[in-house]
Structure 1
Amino acid sequence: MRKAVWLVFVLLAACASGLVGVIEFPEQARPLLPPSTAVLLPPPLPAPKRPKVVRWLDQNWSEADRFWSHHASQGTATLPIPYDWFMALEQPGLSIFFTPGLLSDSDYLARMGFIPSPKTLNAGKKELQSYGYGQAGVSRPVAPTTSLHWAEADNRDGLPVGFARTKVPVDPRDGKPSLDRIGLTCAACHTGHIEYKGASLSFDGGPAMLNLNALERAVSLSLFYTLKAPGRFERFCNRVLGPQASADDREKLRAGLAKIFDSIVVATRASYALKDAKGQEDTPENFGRLDALNRIGNRLFYEDLGGPAGGATLAPNFHATDAPVRFPALWGASWFALAEYDSSIEQPLVRNVGEALGVGALIDLDGGPDGKKLFASTVALENLVWIEDLLRGGDFFSPEAGGLRAPKWPAALFPDDPAWKVDPARIEKGRVLYAELCAGCHLGPVDDPAFDKAYPDKALRHSDGWMKNGTLKLREIPVAVVGTDPAQSQVLRSRMIEAPSRFGLDPRQDLGEAWNCGAALPDASGTALPFGVALMDAVDHIARKSMDQRGLTEDERKAVFGPRGNCPNPEPMAVYRARPLDGVWALAPYLHNGSVPSLYWLLRPADQRPRKFCLGARDYDPRRVGYPADPSCAPGETLFLETDDMGRRIKGNSTAGHSFEGDSAGRPGVVGRALNDDERNALIDYLKTL
């Protein structure tokens, strides 16, 4: 009997020890657990860092402009919970000995790639300097002549760059009062950040190195733990309602929390079932990469229409996220005639409203009994207009006219470090190589008078790409020629959606007649439409509805839309556009899908490039200009893979194309002749100066 009792005691002690081990050391326990259990562990994240030096690079914006662009709401409700709930949730980890920190803690979110930001620019000098701020200055762009005016940015709780408090007096979907929501701004995905030997350098408009999946998973797990873990709901409730809240109010809060969590579970299960039924598979988006276009399509034409509740009717509108791209740079982009990597969107307002919808602006897609509310939304039209003007400025070649400029190579911050020095002789040689190998696609440099003088026929200022409406038509290279991964180029072309008849989408009339698109429109009628055309048409309606909500006059509407139309790219072939290379040093990882870790590897033959490397650390390599090609990831970092364990190529992850090899270009995927080491280093040094 004693032996049996002792055995039971030993087994219980072992189970208790194992449970403590899983709770306190989840990363060590993760490989030992079955997937169904491991999924309940907190998302793995890189270790926290404390930089010694923090800087924001000068890009022609005042600090007031920068702070506003980081936190001015686009009208989005990106996360499925009210703002105050987000601020009250705890991090999705368990501990027997400690109370977990808050989910909104800036240091915790920084481990997902978000950049810490001050609460206000009125803070003390020392505090501002700890965030890389410290210079005075206020400037605002000149907005179109409308009654629209930018709304103040609100970061009173000290959330990182890209988080905003969205005030929603009335939910457009049901007309009921709504709590404030937590939304992401365009700065969340389009603010770059690198680290080097304890220095933290950030720059606006660059590709973020954040992991949005980790944030989404952390929120879901935090809701789960709040509902299930002892003591969590009580602490959450006290933060939201206060310790004196009634039992009824507490129970209503618990029911609301459970309803949101249950909806996440239902949506997740439905997405897996749909992907299985369609034979589709997600490509991991991980740090610095996101399938934005497919996400926007899923949000607008599936989730906002009811998601799983729509059953078979909406199933055709759902698609796996299998074409992830590196977040594109924004400097100069407002001047490009067509946006997106595949040159697919002409109208800036449609591009920006579409982006706001993709990150969760609330929208009425039912319309009510009379249909009058259809397309009403929380899109913050005024702020979208202001951010576009703030990015654009008044003259592409004149910083004095405002506008975001590319960050300059920050060698001055590391005067004694030879890794940051550029060689004048190599720069001269690199300029010649740029004219030979790069200018044919990427056009002349934005700001290099020496290049313009030496190669006036290739100077960007005199390029034949400048159009009558003041935009720059970039070179569009057929995907078959450049040879890079084709997945993103097919999203808007090949994906089909079923638009509800109540939308009344009629591309021939809505786009063809209103914008004189003519032959640019594909043959499309009825409710089955190509995703790209349906998106342009639907967002056009949503933008106009937003103008209706604000009572804009016809002249004001024209001013907000500007001189550009809303027409598809008439190019019949799948293409990728080649943007000017100003600030290219800050755009790693390279190629549109972020599949090449540094300029050094981009300028080598494609078959020599790394097939896997780690993302998430942000440790910059100034010699090779990018990130290390190291496949040994630290805990929490994500591994980019071109192929899976079976050797099968992962959709969207090709490292091929844009190759320098052989005697000359001409073969598919080859854009220039092979470079020797001296030439490669010379071209890299020149590219650092752009």
Structure 2
Amino acid sequence: MHSRTPWAAFALIGLIFALGACSTAMRDFFRGYAEGHASALDAYDMTSLTPAQRGAVIFAVSDFGALNTDTLETHAVPWRLAATALVMRDVELNGGELSAARIRPIMTRFGFLYPETIGNWPEGVAQPTHALETPHGLSLGVVGRDVPRVELTAANLSCSSCHAGHTFDANGAPRTDVAWLGAPNTSLDLELYVREIYTAFKAVRGDEERLIANMRTLFPDTTEAEISTIRSFVMPRLQARMDALEASGDRALPFVNGAPGLTNGVAALRMQLGLLGDDAHENARGFTSIPDLGARGFRSSLLYDGAYAPRTGASDRVIRAEDISTVHLDELATVTAFFTVPSMGVHPDRAAAYLDEAREVFTFLRDYQAPRFPGRIDTRLAAQGRGVYAASCASCHGTYDESLENPALVSFPNWIGPYDTDPGRWQVFDASAAEAVTQSAYGDRIIARATGQYAAPLLEGLWLSAPYLHNGSVPTLWHLMHPGDRPARFQVGGHRLDYSRMGIAGERDANGDYLYPRGYQPWSTPSLIDTRARGLSNQGHASEFEALSVAQRRALLEYLKLL
């Protein structure tokens, strides 16, 4: 017996090391953690695609690790259940029959897209599909495990929810049938989406069996395992969550999530890191307008305040076209992988697992170009505007070549400094937020800093990115160039474009509000932006235009159509 003792000890030591090595997996197992992946990825043989093709597919449909029981507590939704609750609420308000056909118009109201095609999708690769009536931009997959049995169809935001926008025709009318991967979705209203799901679930409280019965009607292929998971796992947590939300202000989120085309990722990050105070609804208003993703490789740091930067190289330095190497793009991809933490609810310690996917996305973005301006361009004026831009704008927003067909950015200064636009965004990403990111499991991969400043943005795809300024507080470029005429309130969401003023088409009413032209029916639900509200000031970036004549401003506007 004694002769076996050393071997038993070695076996025990080996077991301890094994358990230590997989401690995360063990903790996950015992706390009931389950995960899935975006089912849309299963349609693609990724090994047969080029890196750029893989990057487009990942960008469009991957979940980046955001389909699991943790994200279901904060960002993801039990799709079949949530869609059913939304349909039931729609029937209650508008009458009619319970039908899965109602899901699409409901989600469209929130600004989600159901495009027939993606205009810049890689040739020879099948276009993404919309399973279970999910819109483009929601990753769908089954979260599951065997012991205990969990099976739940979950949906969460993907990169392309914000960064795949619809196109416009030659007259400025929106074309929701054709999306462009990398363009901003300037109508996506995540605040409305989250609020309406919350309201829909509130409306069916106490009637869970009718909710499940209606879910069976809308989704007859729902398995008994999923029904069991909903009853035993989802419903108790949902009811507890609803009780907690009602007791803490009766809001779906403790902060304002934005408006059409406007997000509040920094507040979402603070929530993930446990930094939101009781006053977050009023004070955590770090709103940012969704940008086009053209020429991202020219950035040396990311976000409107330059808060994140790679650990190698100077954070604020001139980047020229020849500097955009694979190494530089990989560094930016490393930073971008952390974006899944606030936008999708991924834990910082899991974000690094998707670095390879982020790098593939940047391979796609390396050659990405925004859709070309489809309207008429006065080339004579544009030529004059090119000179105005070079003299008045290039020092902050970058130098372009001499082309009047398709100007290419050749150098970007990555200027960052104190600026006179609304301070809300940089104020919310303060020293405590930077320190929390640095101390997180991802902190050794990026530089996080509270800059107290703003970084001059790239201007790629400017023509389809209205409204303007970092917080989306100015409806057109014309209003930006004429600060005294900026409206205090204007509509955004489901809008058409005015190619003469370059931005949201509208007209002043008797109260001075800038509203859609009479008779225009927006394709999604619009919001009325009040620039007098905290975080939404339309002030700043005015002195740059003071020295320009009306003619110079008109010429500059014409040139900006080309970018």
TM-fit CA distance, 1:360: 3.5
What is the aligned counterpart of 1:538 among 440, 452, 469?
440
Listed one character per residue, the Cα deviations across residues 470-519 of structure 1 (whole Å, up to 9, x for unaligned) are xx65111322xxx111111222225xxxxxxxxxxxxxxxxxxxxxxxxx
The 2-side partners of 1:298 and 1:185 are apart by: 19
* Structure 2 gap segments, 5+ residues each: 1-50, 311-331, 508-512
Aligned pair in 2 of structure 1 residues 341, 302: CA closer, same or farther (>3 Å)? Answer: closer
What is the aligned counterpart of 2:81 among 63, 85, 90?
85
Aligned pair in 2 of structure 1 residues 340, 676: CA closer, same or farther (>3 Å)? Answer: same
Listed one character per residue, the Cα deviations across residues 386-429 of structure 1 (whole Å, up to 9, x for unaligned) are 223322x3xxxxxxxxx21232212xxxxxxxxx3111211111
Listed one character per residue, the Cα deviations across residues 579-618 of structure 1 (whole Å, up to 9, x for unaligned) are 33232112210000000101111111x2321111001122
CA contact (8 A) 2:463 2:502 kept: yes
CA contact (8 A) 1:237 1:253 kept: no
Quote the residue 2:182 is aligned against. Answer: 205
5 Å matches for 1:656-671? 656-659=539-542, 670-671=543-544
What is the aligned counterpart of 1:428 among 350, 362, 383?
383
Q: What amino acid sits opposite 1:585 in the alignment?
A: W
Q: Tell me the secondary structure at the aligned position of residue 179 of structure 2.
A: strand
The 1-side partners of 2:101 and 2:205 are apart by: 15
Quote the residue 2:427 is aligned against. Answer: 490
What is the aligned counterpart of 2:139 among 138, 150, 164?
164
TM-fit CA distance, 1:116: 0.6
Quote the residue 1:106 is aligned against. Answer: 104
Quote the residue 2:530 is aligned against. Answer: 641
Q: Does 1:655 align with 2:538?
A: yes
TM-fit CA distance, 1:625: 0.9
Quote the residue 1:597 is aligned against. Answer: 475
Quote the residue 2:267 is aligned against. Answer: 294
The 1-side partners of 2:279 and 2:192 are apart by: 27
Q: Tell me the secondary structure at the aligned position of residue 427 of structure 2.
A: helix
Listed one character per residue, the Cα deviations across residues 49-105 of structure 1 (whole Å, up to 9, x for unaligned) are xxxxxxxxxxxx988864552212222146453344345544222348522444982
CA contact (8 A) 1:164 1:185 kept: yes
5 Å matches for 1:30-49? none
Q: Tell me the secondary structure at the aligned position of residue 503 of structure 2.
A: coil
Query: What is the aligned-residue RMSD (CA, Å)?
Result: 4.2
CA contact (8 A) 2:152 2:230 kept: no
CA contact (8 A) 1:485 1:652 kept: yes
The 2-side partners of 1:100 and 1:354 are apart by: 40
Q: What amino acid sits opposite 1:608 in the alignment?
A: D
Q: What amino acid sits opposite 1:434 in the alignment?
A: Y
Aligned pair in 2 of structure 1 residues 225, 440: CA closer, same or farther (>3 Å)? Answer: same
Quote the residue 1:75 is aligned against. Answer: 65
Q: Does 1:331 align with 2:294?
A: yes
Q: Computing the radius of gyration over CA atoms, which structure comes out larger, 1 or 2?
A: 1
5 Å matches for 1:139-288? 155-169=130-144, 179-193=152-166, 195=168, 196-197=172-173, 199-200=175-176, 202-208=179-185, 209-228=187-206, 231-237=210-216, 253=231, 256-257=234-235, 259-267=237-245, 269-270=247-248, 285-288=258-261
Q: Tell me the secondary structure at the aligned position of residue 442 of structure 2.
A: helix
Q: Does 1:478 align with 2:474?
A: no
Q: Could you tell me the TM-score, scaled by structure 2's length? A: 0.71
Quote the residue 1:39 is aligned against. Answer: none
Q: What amino acid sits opposite 1:202 in the alignment?
A: A
Aligned pair in 2 of structure 1 residues 350, 175: CA closer, same or farther (>3 Å)? Answer: farther
CA contact (8 A) 1:90 1:100 kept: no
CA contact (8 A) 1:212 1:286 kept: yes
Identity %: 20
* Structure 1 gap segments, 5+ residues each: 1-60, 118-129, 141-151, 276-280, 304-313, 366-374, 394-402, 411-419, 454-458, 464-471, 495-529, 545-564, 644-649, 660-669
TM-fit CA distance, 1:441: 1.2
Q: Tell me the secondary structure at the aligned position of residue 94 of structure 1.
A: helix
Q: Does 1:566 align with 2:446?
A: yes
The 1-side partners of 2:382 and 2:357 are apart by: 41
The 1-side partners of 2:130 and 2:202 are apart by: 27
CA contact (8 A) 1:357 1:379 kept: no
Q: Tell me the secondary structure at the aligned position of residue 554 of structure 2.
A: helix
Aligned pair in 2 of structure 1 residues 651, 430: CA closer, same or farther (>3 Å)? Answer: same
Quote the residue 2:44 is aligned against. Answer: none
Q: Does 1:587 align with 2:428?
A: no
Q: What amino acid sits opposite 1:491 in the alignment?
A: V
Quote the residue 2:501 is aligned against. Answer: 624
Q: Does 1:360 align with 2:360?
A: no
The 2-side partners of 1:252 and 1:588 are apart by: 41
Aligned pair in 2 of structure 1 residues 359, 673: CA closer, same or farther (>3 Å)? Answer: closer
Listed one character per residue, the Cα deviations across residues 17-75 of structure 1 (whole Å, up to 9, x for unaligned) are xxxxxxxxxxxxxxxxxxxxxxxxxxxxxxxxxxxxxxxxxxxx988864552212222
Quote the residue 1:368 is aligned against. Answer: none
Q: Could you tell me the TM-score, scaled by structure 1's length? A: 0.59
TM-fit CA distance, 1:642: 1.7
Aligned pair in 2 of structure 1 residues 346, 484: CA closer, same or farther (>3 Å)? Answer: same
TM-fit CA distance, 1:169: 4.5
The 2-side partners of 1:284 and 1:356 are apart by: 16
Q: Tell me the secondary structure at the aligned position of residue 221 of structure 1.
A: helix
What is the aligned counterpart of 2:91 among 88, 91, 94?
94
Quote the residue 1:562 is aligned against. Answer: none
The 1-side partners of 2:54 and 2:62 are apart by: 11
What is the aligned counterpart of 1:343 among 285, 293, 306?
306
Q: Tell me the secondary structure at the aligned position of residue 293 of structure 2.
A: coil
TM-fit CA distance, 1:432: 1.2
